[in-house]
Amino acid sequence: MDTLLEFLRKYSYWFLFIVLEICSLILLFRFNSYQGSVWFSAANDMAAEVNGIYTEASSFVQLRDVNKQLTEQNLRLQMQLSSLRDALDKTMKPETTNDRLVMDSLKGYELIPARVVSNSIVKNENYIVIDKGEADGVKTEMGVVGGGGVVGIVFLTAAHHALVLPTINVKSNISCRIRHQRYFGYLRWEGGSTLYAYLNDIPRYAKIKEGEYIETSGYSAVFPPGIFVGKVKSIANAPDGLSLQLKVNLGTDFGNLSDVAVIVNQNQPEIESLKLKLTDFEATDN
């Protein structure tokens, strides 16, 4: 208490000066219209600046959630467009049993939204880490997609994170087809630019043009059919000379990847079980 009184006694002149200064300003702005209007304008400008900064900060925080929602909506629209294309194809020819099986294969998929927390693009064996793992329902061999299309396949999982093998990894191998033509091959990345990969094993007699769409074939339990992969950039003979090799401009911008979604196929365990039984049968038969 004595210290406080000593402090007030020591700086009493300064406190008195501040109080008189405040009183002078109040009298000046209250009883002089011009000075009052200047103060009112300055206060409004300052309040507007503060409100503007607060609004921008709030918009930036909300932008992340909006981006996630747009990514999920874009992916669902891609799957709906694939279904509509298949339905349009059916109107041009009688529906067969195989056609019905293809439509049934689109059922049982759900999406787990995730965010990229680590990403590499300059190596031959690039990897992506996402913030969802086993606790969120993510398992190995699940497909990962983004707003631009296919991203990769889950390679390893932990409780709350997962390691994704992207298409820009030389070990990646994804079954893809040419939209509407149904010719399929395997998409592989050969290093270098992250903008392009190569679709191999396309028959030489296939009539393909530059700019045609490449999408997932659906010939695995990882990706449903019709998910966008990229566009044909150029067409050349494969190194073996027995097939065509398509240079594909990838739809996913891996250098600017933030929000993705993991595809959950409820039928995947059953499909993998059948594959395992087939492997055991072939081993026993040999």
Domains and CATH numbers, the chain: 2-54 (no CATH), 70-278 (2.40.10.350)
Is the confidence at residue 157, as pLDDT, over 80? yes
Residues 205-229: pLDDT tens digits?
Answer: 888 999 999 999 888 878 988 889 9
Phi/psi at 43 (nearest 5 deg)?
A: -65, -40
Is the confidence at residue 272, as pLDDT, over 90? no
pLDDT for 27 equals 65
Cβ–Cβ under 8 Å, residues 199 and 231: no
pLDDT for 101 equals 38
Of residues 188 and 269, the one with the higher pLDDT is 188
Is the confidence at residue 123, as pLDDT, over 70? yes
Residue 192 corresponds to which amino acid?
Answer: G
Residues 47-85: pLDDT tens digits?
Answer: 556 666 665 665 555 667 777 777 777 777 777 777 777
Cβ–Cβ under 8 Å, residues 156 and 188: no
Exposure pattern of 80-111 as b/e (b: 16+ CB <10 Å)? Answer: eebeeeeeeeeeeeeeeeeeeeeeebbeebeb
Is the confidence at residue 105, as pLDDT, over 50? no
What's the gap between Cα 26 and its chain centre?
A: 57
Q: Count H helices, E strands: the chain?
A: 5, 12
pLDDT for 94 equals 57
Q: Is 78 helix (H, G, I), strand (E, B) or coil?
A: helix
Q: Where are the beta strands (DSSP E) in 160-268?
A: 162-166, 174-178, 184-188, 196-202, 213-216, 228-237, 244-250, 259-265
Paired residues of 110 in beta bridges: 264
Is the confidence at residue 45, as pLDDT, over 80? no
Copy the structure tokens of residue 87: 């339905």
